[in-house]
């Protein structure tokens, strides 16, 4: 740890990292370690984007910028709020989004596969309709619209508060003509609608796990996290109804986090394709419309909330 007062931007990043480590903060809302979050905070205080920070490391922050850094560090440690809420900003799939406590902080691993346009499982040029189910901030819907410029995208969520944030992000990205925001409990308001691609990051946290989450998660809407005793309440409902909303050759891509093992145990006969991220995570699965239809009865039997 450097005992000298911070002077340059690089010094302030190191100083902030040290404060975060000392405070025992948890990192899981846009970063996964103290150094990256420190760089994010300092860059935001300077008014520069993360990719611009490397060119500023030798600069000396102004007195106002220093004050902003100290204030943000103090508030992050005091409140345990995710930094994204303090900044009202987060990056997802290479795009910047507004976020506040009406919705969870965008961090879905699906973003990595959106950038790859889900190849080779779909022909990107053939995607004309896409659905972001449980959209929250609208980040997946907006990212889909960017990656599939010929597609119209629906973004649904049960939460009116979350959808207010989603509409703001759709507007900020100039996508009002292509992204439709709909309040719906999963597929309830989508009768007759069919898609080439459905992507979803639904609630998937089991009740026992929810009770042990770090303090940072307490600031997020429980509605967007909690998924019953097994963590499968929502995803099983999605699996049961997805076949009627996918076009032939379409795909469902869903993130289920730590409930992935439970899901496989519940449906051992289902040929889930588990997509591997660059970090080695395998909590995002893919099923084709045909696979979903072939196991419709099994899904329907469990497609109700835990009793």
Average pLDDT over every residue of 70-89: 98
Q: Over the stretch 207-219, which tens digit does the pLDDT of each residue have?
A: 999 889 999 999 9
> How far is Cα 23 from Cα 228, in angstroms, rounded to an integer?
32
Average pLDDT over every residue of 215-243: 95
- What predicted TM-score, i.e. pTM, was given to this entire model? 0.93
Structure token digits, residue 293: 């239809």
pLDDT of residue 303: 57
Q: What is the DSSP letter of 196?
A: E
**Strand positions, DSSP E, the chain:** 90-92, 95-97, 129-133, 152-157, 179-183, 195-200, 246-255, 273-275, 284-288
Structure token digits, residue 241: 């109804």
Q: Over the stretch 275-299, which tens digit does the pLDDT of each residue have?
A: 999 989 999 999 999 999 999 989 9
Asked if residue 305 has pLDDT above 50, the reply is no
pLDDT of residue 307: 33
Q: Over the stretch 171-193, which tens digit does the pLDDT of each residue have?
A: 999 999 999 999 999 999 999 99
* pLDDT over 90, % of the chain: 91
Domain 93-302 in this protein, CATH class: alpha beta
Mean residue pLDDT of the chain comes to 94
Q: What are the domain boundaries of the chain?
A: 9-87, 93-302
Asked if residue 1 has pLDDT above 90, the reply is no
């Amino acid at each position: 740890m450097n005992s000298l007062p911070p002077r340059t931007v690089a010094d302030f990043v190191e100083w902030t990292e040290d404060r975060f480590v000392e405070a025992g903060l948890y990192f899981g809302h846009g970063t996964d370690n103290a150094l990256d979050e420190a760089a994010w905070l300092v860059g935001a205080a300077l008014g520069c984007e993360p990719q611009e920070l490397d060119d500023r490391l030798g600069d000396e922050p102004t007195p106002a910028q220093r004050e902003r850094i100290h204030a943000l560090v103090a508030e992050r440690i005091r409140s345990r709020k995710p930094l994204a809420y303090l900044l009202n900003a987060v990056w997802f799939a290479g795009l910047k989004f507004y976020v506040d406590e009406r919705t969870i902080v965008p961090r879905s691993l699906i973003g990595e596969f959106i950038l790859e346009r889900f190849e080779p499982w779909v022909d990107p040029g053939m995607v004309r309709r896409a659905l972001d189910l449980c959209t929250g901030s609208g980040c997946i819907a907006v990212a889909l619209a960017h990656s599939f410029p010929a597609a119209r995208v629906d973004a649904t969520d049960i939460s009116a508060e979350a959808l207010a944030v989603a509409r703001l992000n759709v507007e900020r990205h100039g996508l009002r003509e292509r992204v439709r925001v709909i309040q719906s409990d999963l597929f309830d308001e989508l009768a007759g609608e069919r898609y080439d691609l459905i992507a979803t990051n639904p609630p998937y946290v089991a009740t026992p796990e929810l009770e042990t989450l770090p303090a940072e998660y307490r600031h997020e809407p429980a509605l967007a996290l909690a998924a019953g005793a097994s963590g499968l309440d929502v995803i099983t409902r999605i699996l049961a109804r997805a076949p009627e909303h996918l076009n032939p050759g379409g795909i469902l891509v869903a993130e289920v986090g730590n409930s992935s093992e439970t899901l496989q145990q519940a449906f051992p006969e289902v040929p889930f394709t588990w997509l591997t991220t660059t970090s080695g995570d395998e909590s995002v699965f893919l099923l084709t419309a045909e696979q979903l239809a072939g196991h419709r009865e099994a899904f329907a039997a469990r497609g109700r909330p835990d009793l």
